[in-house]
Amino acid sequence: MRSHITTRGLERATHRALYYSMGFLPEDLDKPLIAVVNTQNETMPGHVHLDSIAKAVKEGIIAAGGTPIEFPTIGLCDGIAQGNYGMHYPLASRELICDSVECMVNGHQYDAMVLITNCDKITPGLLMAAVRLNIPAIMISGGPMATGCVDGQEIGYTDLMAAQGDVARGIITREELSRRERDALPGCGACNLLGTANTMNFLTEALGMCLPGSTCLAGTGRRLALAKQTGMKIMELYHKSILPRQIVTKEAIENTITVDLAIGGSTNTILHLTALAKTADIDFDINCFTELAQKVPHLVKIKPANNGHYPADVHNAGGITALMGQLCRDGLLHKEALTVTGKTVAENVSEVKVINSNVIRTLDNPYSAKGGLQLLYGNLAPQGSVCKSAAVVPEMYHHKGPARIFNQEEPAVAAIYGGQIKPGDVVVVRYEGPKGGPGMREMLTATAAIVGMGLSKEVALITDGRFSGATAGAAVGHVSPEAAEGGPIALIEEGDMIEIDIPQGSIHLHVSDEELARRKTAWKPMKQDHVIKGSYLDRYAKMVSSAMDGAIFK
């Protein structure tokens, strides 16, 4: 066992004594030592309940003959960091989370690990740690949040965003908004929409790194049972020497992208799956998103998509497992890909069926023939950009309008709520990329303002920043190269015409190459006065790569 280097031999007396001082028995140290990475904290509903998940996981490990050893990592809430200085940190924290797991697991030489997660950057950070360390590993999430209810009507996170705009326009009162706030998010779990949290947890099942059942709701007995099964399963993976890099293969990544396109997942998945593939040393071309989108239809609409369902509805319709069964039978998945069950994808889904085809549609009745994510290229984004096409109304598939320039999110939001943005405009928010932000802040507050002000069918937004899975509308992010590196987005001037064609995957600035070259000669990078010298953000800005490269450390 790997852990024998800390528990066996004459020279390890002090090591064993350290374990005994914590209440471990000699026989505990004869068993495989299993790290239980518990990201529980009291900062967000997705993680507040994870101690109960960890308890069940540890019970499963003990029952299957292992010794669980629990430790934490940090975990930030994108929702609370949203729209303020705090949003510089969540994406940057992904690398810290991955590094911290490496430090703990290698520093103590554990034999295997269970990774307990639920929210946005924590899940990809843990997945990256799993393939980096490549010891037996399995993941379990805390599950999606239940749907809220106000006056007999279902309500959730995205409904609150729309209500904020209703207040600004005088349609409802602040008191009414306050009343809805109390019931929209009814308890623990990843917020009740297809944000990055639920998207990444669902995709972990598609990847094969968690047991089937990713849509099972938080706070239920079924979720606890799944956690106990996860603890038992890690012992099987350990004894069979099944490693993450045997599961996270090029085929598994393609399966994950297929499911992502079918559900219209968060644009953040392009960042995270690219980063995961690179961490696993997989030969990966980001353009496979576009290639797969040509043959994978959009089958599931989940909030914030217009008229979308809630995560609980998807679970009741059969969940991601049923969707994968349908995709597998239709020949859209690599059937022989290995998973943490010890079985192939095809074996996992052979007996599952979709229960409600109104929620999980069939291939002959899709929402659209193409998947719900789209890469866009052009002279404005020569290295690429990203749009969640599943959340765009048809009226905005093609849009051409004058640029309204903002060098950070806050003045853009003020202008939108202040009525300064007019129908037809293209809001440009720049210097918000991985390096320029730094940390590539989400522009959810800005896009929510556009929706809330009733402009989602008339105004587009482009940014070198990123979007939340909660974003709806004609929003194009990850524009690369970013402004801080002198990309074309830094050269746009007020009033320049910008043309976006989502179905064709193009984004074009109607300015001549000669004029852009002249502007580039005169360009000077914007100072980052808000970044403390020597801080983590300062170091992150110097080390991070392009968004289209996964925003990983160089």
Residues known to be catalytic? 468
Contacts with 336 (C-beta within 8 Å, 6 or more apart), sequence order = 251, 344, 345, 346
d(CA 28, CA 65): 9
Peptide bond into 366 cis (omega under 30): no
Cβ atoms of residues 125 and 94 within 8 Å: yes
End-to-end CA, the chain? 33
Report the b/e string of 96-126 with b at 16+ CB within 10 A: bbbbbbeebbeebbbbbbbbbbbbbbbbbbb
The answer to whether 211 and 349 have CB atoms below 8 angstroms apart is no
DSSP-derived secondary structure letter, 552: -
Q: Is the separation of the CB atoms in 375 and 386 below 8 Å?
A: yes
Are the beta carbons of 377 and 384 closer than 8 angstroms?
A: yes
Give the residues across from 35 on adjacent strands. 69, 113
DSSP string, 135-191: SSEEEEE--BPPPEEETTEEE-HHHHHHHHHHHHTTSS-HHHHHHHHHHHS-SSSB-
All residues at 6 or more sequence positions from 266 whose CB lies less than 8 Å from its CB, including other chains: 194, 195, 196, 199, 200, 388, 467, 468, 469
For residues 480 and 548, the answer to whether their CB atoms sit within 8 Å is yes
Q: Measure the CA dihedral 199/392/361/202, to 10°.
A: 0
The 10 Å Cβ neighbour count of residue 410 is 15
Q: Which two tokens stand for residue 453?
A: 């002000």
Residue 550 falls in which region: left (phi positive, over 0), alpha (psi -120 to 50) or beta: left
Residue 438: cis peptide before it, omega within 30 degrees of 0: yes
**DSSP per-residue codes, 512-548:** -HHHHHHHHHH--PPP-TTSPTTSHHHHHHHHB--GG
